Structure 1
Amino acid sequence: MRNFEQPGRSLVRSTHGMAATSHPAASLAAIDTLRQGGTAMDAAVAACAVQCVVEPGSTGIGGDCFALYAPRGTDRIVAFDGSGRAPMATTAAALRDMGMSSIPRSSAHAITVPGAVDAWCQLLRDHGALPLSQVLAPAIEAATQGYVVAERAGTDWAKQEKLLAGDDNAQRHLLVQGRAPAIGSVHRQQALAATLQAIAAQGRDAFYTGAIAGDMVDYLQSLGGRHTLQDFAACQGHYVTPISTGFAGHEVHECPPAGQGVIALMILRLLQDLPAGHNPLDPDRLFRELEACRLAYSVRDAVIGDPAGAAVDVDWLLSDGLIDALRQQILDGRVNRDIPAFTPPTHSDTVYITVVDKDRNCASFINSVFSPFGSGRVSPASGVLFHNRGQSFTLAEGHPNAIGPGKRPMHTIIPGMVTRDGRVRFSFGVMGGQYQAMGHAWFLSRVLQYGMDMQAAMALPRVFARPGGWTVEHEGTLAPATVEALRARGYDMVPPDWAIGGAQAIEIDWETGTLTGASDHRKDGCALGY
């Protein structure tokens, strides 16, 4: 039970429907959509579209989307991969010939064809009940009439002023006299509003063909990109088969590669037999979790890529043989410094949304522009902020995640669900780019092994082992004695640039018919129910 003398948030409880997002305007849009007769998927897309306007540093229609959906809360979960592809004319060899050893954040080569809008339209076609125009109406209203800049969103915005000032279009659409809009001020995005109105009226083709696509392609080509109108017209997400593993008497479901959901499952398997103890922040426990994270991430970077280009053997990744071999590399109380290293991109920005409706349809939904404000590039007339997801590609010839014609990069964004006895118990997700796989394991271990409620689990101080070394980020709320105990085990302990990630979750109690929601204090958002 929560200590009401301590700072914190109460869990939100309801019976009819629940939404949890990282922005209050998005949570409200989701609930309004449910009240209008929309499904969980209608509400998730409505909330996401609002966040594409009011939280542009985290998401946008120039990004990608993944989703898990459980019809009527059963374990017959469907998964959707809405990630975009590299232009057909792009090769790793060509970029190496240009003198590149990696892909710069603001380069046109970091921008794959955005997959989010196509994903929204397919998911609404198959799992929605309302017309697209009605679903997008709250976002269009916010972009047209204005929205108040929230505290976390505004803080993130100010951190990226230099990036946005480097692009004339970004400066015009997203800055006010060269500065980020002030927290508490009203901001409008008229060009984005017009683009959303076109999508609402004409569907996905308004974005991927015609004037809007032409505006985006012309701009990307002016930056040296190899994008074509054919690349945009051909963009199409697809349904994929979810993957899962058992943990603490439950089944945990994730999207398959090219996402890193399988890495979250690997970490859970590495922790499956680890006794919980009494303290979720015990240094010995944290050490084992950090080493499990480092091992699983080293495997991720070696083998995860677009399965269309190189098969990813999920069965092997979750096999007893591999898990046991990795477990043996966790040394007794000391950092293993022989884990393969790689150089990852920095923390990323994303929005995660979960909605459960009156029929107990469950949507676990994530949309991202990768780094804060993505590439920092904005199309001139349509106001589309482009992600930088292509920065996840490697230029190493023959690597599973090497950039190539029509390939999708390894993705960090991963929606999650947990089932028990054939029905969904939790719909959940974690934000924070690289952190997400560890964040899934961290959250579930606290809830399912330690018996913590969702809000209390989210409130715990976080640690994250940066892939490719032994540097561990720790939030300032972690006890100094715990920091020193981890440092004594060989970690370089450092503060993060800002709070690590965020999270949302909804729990279904099938016996009482109630819904419980939680939303991370690290973001502006909230859970709402009715």
Structure 2
Amino acid sequence: MAAVLRAGYRKGRVGLVTVILALAGTLSLVSSVSAYDRVNGEGFASRSPVLATQGMAATSQPLATQVALDILKQGGSAVDAAIAANAVQGLMEPTGNGIGGDLFAIVWSASDGKLHGLNASGRSPKSLLFSYFADNNLDKIPSHGPLPVSVPGAVDGWFELHEKFGKLPMKELLAPAITYANEGFPVTQLVAYYWNRSVPILEKFPGFRETYMPNGRAPKDGEIFRNPRLAGTLQKIADGGRDAFYKGDIAREIDRYMKANNGFLSYDDLASHKSDWIEPVSTNYRGYDVWELPPNGQGIAALQILNILEGYDLKRLGRQSAEYVHLFAEAKKLAFEDRAKYYADPEFNQLPVEELISKPYADKRRKLINPDRAAKRYDAGNVALRHGDTIYLTTADKDGNMVSLIQSNYRGMGSGMTPGDLGFILQDRGEMFSLKEGHFNQYEPGKRPFHTIIPAFVTKNGKPWLSFGVMGGATQPQMHAQIVINMVDFGLNVQEAGDAPRILHSGSSQPTDEMMEDGGYLSLEDSFPMETRRKLVQMGHQVRFESGPYGGYQAILKSDEGVYHGASESRKDGQAAGY
């Protein structure tokens, strides 16, 4: 009996129940269902995907997920559900998003069988000149306060999406958020944590304390928070449409507040804002077409990483091997050098997107990787020039429409600038501009900054397969690539692909900076083996033990049978649910 138990323990498959029953002489009855067995696959913490046929929603806030399902059950489209959920998240997760921020989306339209991309990011104030920064001895744009504020594009994004794909009236879509704002909701654990961390930084800005610090502090985990100011603003939008925000009382209040606090964002900046419908771009990775939006976002970095890694047999190397982690980190370094140089507003630059995501360019860049040694730095590629914290959500409806939507204030709660009684914070996305003259992403009036937030989508044989995203700054393209690799190369399901331990390479202080001269550093989540870490150090990598940030993931997969598989990981407070 002892020999049997020792063999079982070596295989990691004998639990306490098995041991007790084995001592009683009944091992043969239960050995296949021990307490340590995992029916749903991998050894890391995970759960089974959520399955449904009529509709699915996956968000980082369970109450927002439930609102999305309610909208779907009332006959709303996937876009309707996404808008309603996003409005609720702006209230319940002010640490990541809100109507003072920007929005990007990829929509699969079942009626025409194609993807549609929306860039709903705002532009810099027209009255803020490049010379202002030099005149005031600034070598970078501050992270908070009035200077990094750009036009908030999210509300216009809602109305663009709704006009093209909506079914229910906007009043019905905003009603749940208005009700929760007036009546209150319990603050979730992770949001309470980040809210509390934001207070010391943002409480000095006018309006922040009045809106976000009831009782003179951040709300605690489980406390009820109300935001009647935001309820009033959302009601004005529900009644008056997008112009209530960009041309009505809301715009005038933002203009008044910014002028009173040495800001530049004006009524004219808001009134002239517009979103753009754009064509998503893709690369084929081992038979799967992976789709991202082109710059001013960073989505094509994920495509560049995948193109480089397609040249290796990752399945043979193994998901937790030092060899795979090394190749991933080097591919990321190569892609991010191009990101630092070329990614910017296409209205101000002719960007070489087609070449950057091409297979021949990836072949050329791949040759720079030493399979045995980490590079201290790479230079950006030479291409032929032809002279942008967060929330992510995804929804799907009974008609087969799917939405991949991401929305953010940047730096968690944003700039700290909280205008009047409007109940929201303006974003600080303008910090992402470069103040280097001649840089593609150089600050200019009326220009969109480089953006980090990116939605993603995967099709196979021209049909929708996966709508997904991973929130978290420069983490996002790295995790987009890892999700695809986890599913395509390593055979993980849609839930496991997000729960699997992650690789994060950090190589610069700002998203548009070049890599540090020492090659940056690697962070690996806890369950990577110590042997993998040791070998990576021997290969020249600086490896750190960090609990985060590794981003937050939601996804919906559509099977060949038409079943939706929903996933929402445990790093956030979220939920996937369907019906």
Shorter-chain TM-score: which interval?
Answer: over 0.9
CA apart distance, 1:7: 4.1
Partner residue of 2:351? 312
CA distance in 2 between counterparts of 1:249 and 1:488 reads 35
Q: Do the aligned partners of residues 5 and 488 (structure 1) sit closer, same or farther apart at CA in structure 2, a change above 3 Å counting?
A: closer
What pairs up with 1:313-352 in 2 under 5 angstroms?
A: 313-340=352-379, 349-352=389-392
CA distance in 2 between counterparts of 1:447 and 1:516 reads 13
**Aligned to 2:528, which of 447, 458, 478?**
478
Contact 2:411 2:428 in 1 (8 A): yes
**Aligned to 1:95, which of 126, 133, 145?**
133
Contact 2:501 2:527 in 1 (8 A): yes
**Aligned to 1:70, which of 73, 85, 108?**
108
Task: Provide runs of 4+ in structure 1 moved above 6 Å.
Answer: none
Cα offsets for 1:228-273 (capped at 9, x unmatched): 2110101110101110110121111111111111111111101112
CA apart distance, 1:399: 1.0
Contact 2:42 2:496 in 1 (8 A): no
Contact 1:278 1:450 in 2 (8 A): no
CA apart distance, 1:372: 1.2
Q: Do the aligned partners of residues 69 and 97 (structure 1) sit closer, same or farther apart at CA in structure 2, a change above 3 Å counting?
A: same
Cα offsets for 1:430-453 (capped at 9, x unmatched): 111111111100100000111101
> One-letter code of the match for 1:233?
A
Cα offsets for 1:506-527 (capped at 9, x unmatched): 11113x2211110111000110
Contact 1:54 1:147 in 2 (8 A): yes
CA distance in 1 between counterparts of 2:98 and 2:131 reads 30
Contact 1:353 1:504 in 2 (8 A): yes
- Measured on the aligned residues, the alpha-carbon RMSD in Å equals 1.7
What pairs up with 1:168-183 in 2 under 5 angstroms?
A: 168-183=206-221
- Name the stretch that deviates more: 243-252 or 94-103: 94-103
> One-letter code of the match for 1:294?
K
1:457 aligns with 2:507: no
Contact 1:164 1:175 in 2 (8 A): no
> One-letter code of the match for 2:566?
G
CA apart distance, 1:420: 1.0
CA apart distance, 1:496: 4.2
Contact 1:53 1:60 in 2 (8 A): yes
**Aligned to 2:472, which of 399, 416, 432?**
432
CA distance in 2 between counterparts of 1:221 and 1:268 reads 46
CA distance in 2 between counterparts of 1:432 and 1:143 reads 26
1:506 aligns with 2:544: no
CA apart distance, 1:91: 2.7
> One-letter code of the match for 2:564?
L
Partner residue of 2:267? 229
1:488 aligns with 2:527: no
What pairs up with 1:317-466 in 2 under 5 angstroms?
A: 317-340=356-379, 349-466=389-506
Contact 1:90 1:403 in 2 (8 A): no
1:299 aligns with 2:349: no
Higher Cα Rg, which structure: 2
Q: Do the aligned partners of residues 499 and 9 (structure 1) sit closer, same or farther apart at CA in structure 2, a change above 3 Å counting?
A: farther
Contact 1:93 1:397 in 2 (8 A): no
Partner residue of 2:87? 49
The TM-score normalised by the length of structure 1 is: 0.95
Partner residue of 1:104? 142
CA apart distance, 1:498: 3.2
> One-letter code of the match for 1:483?
R
Contact 1:74 1:424 in 2 (8 A): no
Q: Do the aligned partners of residues 339 and 391 (structure 1) sit closer, same or farther apart at CA in structure 2, a change above 3 Å counting?
A: same
SS across alignment from 1:503: strand
Q: Do the aligned partners of residues 6 and 251 (structure 1) sit closer, same or farther apart at CA in structure 2, a change above 3 Å counting?
A: closer
Higher relative contact order (CA 8 A, sep 6+): 1
Partner residue of 1:345? none
> One-letter code of the match for 2:537?
R
SS across alignment from 1:370: coil
CA distance in 1 between counterparts of 2:559 and 2:95 reads 35
Cα offsets for 1:356-389 (capped at 9, x unmatched): 1000001111111111111122112212211111
Q: Do the aligned partners of residues 458 and 158 (structure 1) sit closer, same or farther apart at CA in structure 2, a change above 3 Å counting?
A: same
CA apart distance, 1:340: 4.4
Q: Do the aligned partners of residues 3 and 318 (structure 1) sit closer, same or farther apart at CA in structure 2, a change above 3 Å counting?
A: closer
Q: Do the aligned partners of residues 443 and 82 (structure 1) sit closer, same or farther apart at CA in structure 2, a change above 3 Å counting?
A: same
CA distance in 2 between counterparts of 1:60 and 1:479 reads 39
- Name the stretch that deviates more: 467-476 or 298-307: 467-476
CA distance in 2 between counterparts of 1:478 and 1:96 reads 46
Partner residue of 2:230? 192
SS across alignment from 1:504: strand
CA distance in 2 between counterparts of 1:491 and 1:218 reads 51
SS across alignment from 2:147: helix
CA distance in 2 between counterparts of 1:399 and 1:231 reads 24
1:166 aligns with 2:216: no
The TM-score normalised by the length of structure 2 is: 0.87
Contact 1:73 1:362 in 2 (8 A): no
CA apart distance, 1:278: 5.8
CA distance in 2 between counterparts of 1:148 and 1:368 reads 21
Partner residue of 2:162? 124
1:22 aligns with 2:72: no
SS across alignment from 2:474: helix
CA apart distance, 1:307: 0.4
- Name the stretch that deviates more: 79-88 or 270-279: 270-279
Cα offsets for 1:160-213 (capped at 9, x unmatched): 121232224111111133321010000001111110111011111111122211
- Name the stretch that deviates more: 90-99 or 445-454: 90-99
- Name the stretch that deviates more: 401-410 or 67-76: 67-76
SS across alignment from 2:405: strand
CA distance in 2 between counterparts of 1:222 and 1:479 reads 55
CA apart distance, 1:497: 6.8
CA apart distance, 1:499: 3.7
Partner residue of 2:284? 246
Partner residue of 2:242? 204
Partner residue of 2:316? 277
Partner residue of 2:18? none
> One-letter code of the match for 1:473?
S
Contact 1:329 1:336 in 2 (8 A): no
**Aligned to 1:114, which of 138, 141, 152?**
152
SS across alignment from 1:160: helix
CA distance in 2 between counterparts of 1:387 and 1:474 reads 30
SS across alignment from 1:355: strand
CA distance in 2 between counterparts of 1:144 and 1:241 reads 39
SS across alignment from 2:75: coil
> One-letter code of the match for 2:553?
A
SS across alignment from 1:47: helix
> One-letter code of the match for 2:570?
H
Q: Do the aligned partners of residues 349 and 496 (structure 1) sit closer, same or farther apart at CA in structure 2, a change above 3 Å counting?
A: farther
SS across alignment from 2:217: coil
> One-letter code of the match for 1:9?
R
**Aligned to 1:138, which of 148, 170, 176?**
176
List gaps (5 residues or longer) in structure 1.
Answer: 342-347
SS across alignment from 1:277: helix
How many residues are treated as equivalent by the alignment? 523
Partner residue of 1:344? none
SS across alignment from 2:91: helix
SS across alignment from 1:527: strand
1:83 aligns with 2:133: no
> One-letter code of the match for 1:146?
G
